[in-house]
Chains A and B, each alone.
Chain A
């Protein structure tokens, strides 16, 4: 039985992360039955503009393909930080993300954002869980997202790996982007995701990374923005996060539009064999 908990404003992520860091060891094999719902969310236009600029979307009244994700992310983190959630928030790595936009969303749309966890499953390298985000306007389902996280650990070598990522398109880069050292802090300021791995080389080192790493959802949003305005209309994207982007860095944007399904990817400019992400995009027209 699902328990619905409503929020009139999103929980503070800084507090959620601190709570998660202080939480004891987690265990168990069942997911909380709670559904966290942010109700009657009115888009903050300044926030929308900051997000659009940072991710490379046009500054206008249309909500970017990925925008509802950052509205739902604090609820995801809140749910995952709870003691009833079987996996440790701090150790979770975002590996895949799927988004379906059912209709073009506008800054005037008042959104309800509901988040729940499902499909806790084994993987050869640990355990996977999906955090499902549903956005509705007046009861109409307008947007859904599925974020897959892995808790690395003792895996089951016989477990299913899930759908395999398509290969990153080869060939000459369509664009090269220079990502600044403070990109993680910039995106944290907009998304609220202040996970220390993104904030500073020192805090990232404490978490086992050589440098601060870019937020996966920034790299995904920036790549989608580069595919043009149609991504904000009815469309479905699937992104697979591969190697993290260490900041600062230069990345190549590669894209293949020869097939019905657009495939795009990011790879390191200096070391093209280092692939950061690959995504597929299907648009209504």
Chain B
């Protein structure tokens, strides 16, 4: 079934700040600081100062309690008209792409004419929490009305209660880290160390080439002295990556290293979307259209499926709805949470058993042309500030499709914590 959409949602441009490694140049920058900077760069590039946009949708995966209205606060700190509405979304690493889908849907329905979708995350300026026991005791002290009662409640605090916690990259229901989950999936799909290192090296080389070609000149604004993604190693090779020790998985078969896994990163991104009419009124060039999006979730809790395999399910559903095959694309952007995520996903789509039994298809989706995959680098090289990755990919892919020409197609696939996956199709204009 193909649903006719009332009108198209255009991607008009994007902006991000270079991604920094954890405790790097953005160590003291907050999510609000970084998202405001990304927004402000977009506002400057597209002359949006004082403009009331339909909405700004942002969010962060790791967020302080005080940042409940993070995106709205960033809008108020930007040059956009203060009458621009905003809200936060949190869907783990899928946040940024989900936000682009949400904004595009409202544009298609005619509810808004323009909007910005983005996201931000900091692994440096993380909230600190006290232990659960201490938190409950402190709340009890706070409830007391008299000093004596407060003192009594305070006496209930034991030395063992004292300690701090920071958000961890761990699945609450399994207690396993994302890397440990991925190691299980990588082993199941027989993803080799060599294949992972090859993908990682290519990510760095492709990103370096994109910088050399000036690809990011109109997609990025330098911030706090950083003008390029800090994690990029232009001279990365398979040989160098082969020297690293595995960090996830156990024993002989462990294949995942710090080199073929994304590092913790700080950064922000924002993408401008609008109706074609709005774009014309503002003399902005339509780069691409956000055609459609799909989200899937898998049951990783009971071990039925790997934590990061949801995009493998979302993509065939999206293809079916749009009447497309996996090979009908000029570019593929598969988020490199880990090199093994990309490889496991692609292997699943080639696998007869997986495609027929898990996806309920008649035959495998087949292979994708690797020369069309992550051609300007992806998260292994650029880094991955969780909620900022979607905006990075959407803006870059829209530009690539615009250069390729009208009718060109791109597929985005992003896996997320909680066993979810967000995918989308873009069409060049």
CB within 8 Å of A: which B14-58 residues: 28-30, 33, 36-37, 40, 49-50
A150 CB to nearest chain B CB (Å): 36
User: How many A-B pairs fall under 8 Å by CB?
Assistant: 39
Known pairs A49-B28, A60-B40; A229 contacts B78 (CB<8 A): yes
* Interface class of chain B by DSSP: loop
Residue pair A45, B36 in contact (C-beta under 8 Å): no
Closest to A107 in B: B225
Tell me whether B40 and A229 are in contact (CB under 8 A).
yes
CB interface residues, A 74-120, toward B, < 8 Å: 107-108
Please measure, in the bound complex, the distance between the C-alpha atom of A229 and the C-alpha atom of B30, giving whole angstroms.
18
- Interface residues of A, count at CB 8 A: 13
Is the C-beta of B222 less than 8 angstroms from some C-beta in chain A? Answer: yes
* Alpha-carbon separation in the docked complex, A88 to B30 (Å): 43
B332 in the interface, Cβ–Cβ < 8 Å?
Answer: no
B224 in contact with A58 (CB, 8 Å): no
Q: Given A49-B28, A230-B79, A60–B225 Cβ distance below 8 Å? A: no
Question: Shortest distance in angstroms between B334's beta carbon and chain A's nearest beta carbon?
Answer: 32
Name B77's contact: one of A46, A58, A285 (CB within 8 Å).
Answer: A58
Interchain CA distance A74-B291 in the complex, whole Å:
59
By DSSP majority rule, is chain A's interface helix, strand, loop, or mixed? loop
Q: Decide if B30 touches A61 in the complex (CB within 8 Å).
A: no
Interface size class of B (residues with CB under 8 A): 10 to 19
Complex alpha-carbon distance, A174 and B33, angstroms: 23
Known: A229-B77, A229-B79, A230-B79. A59 touches B222 (CB 8 A): no
Q: Which B residues are in CB contact (< 8 Å) with A45?
A: 224-225
Q: A229 to B29, alpha carbons, bound, how many Å?
A: 18
Pair B225/A59 contact, Cβ less than 8 Å? no
Residue-wise, chain A 43-80 has the 8 Å CB interface mask toward B (1 for contact) of 00110010000000011110000000000000000000
Kindly provide the distance from the CB of B376 to the nearest chain A CB, expressed in whole angstroms: 25
Q: A residues bordering B, Cβ < 8 Å?
A: 45-46, 49, 58-61, 107-108, 228-230, 285
| 23 CB < 8 A contacts A-B | A45-B224, A45-B225, A49-B28, A49-B29, A58-B33, A58-B36, A58-B77, A59-B29, A59-B30, A59-B37, A59-B224, A60-B33, A60-B224, A61-B223, A61-B224, A61-B225, A107-B224, A108-B225, A229-B77, A229-B78, A229-B79, A285-B49, A285-B50
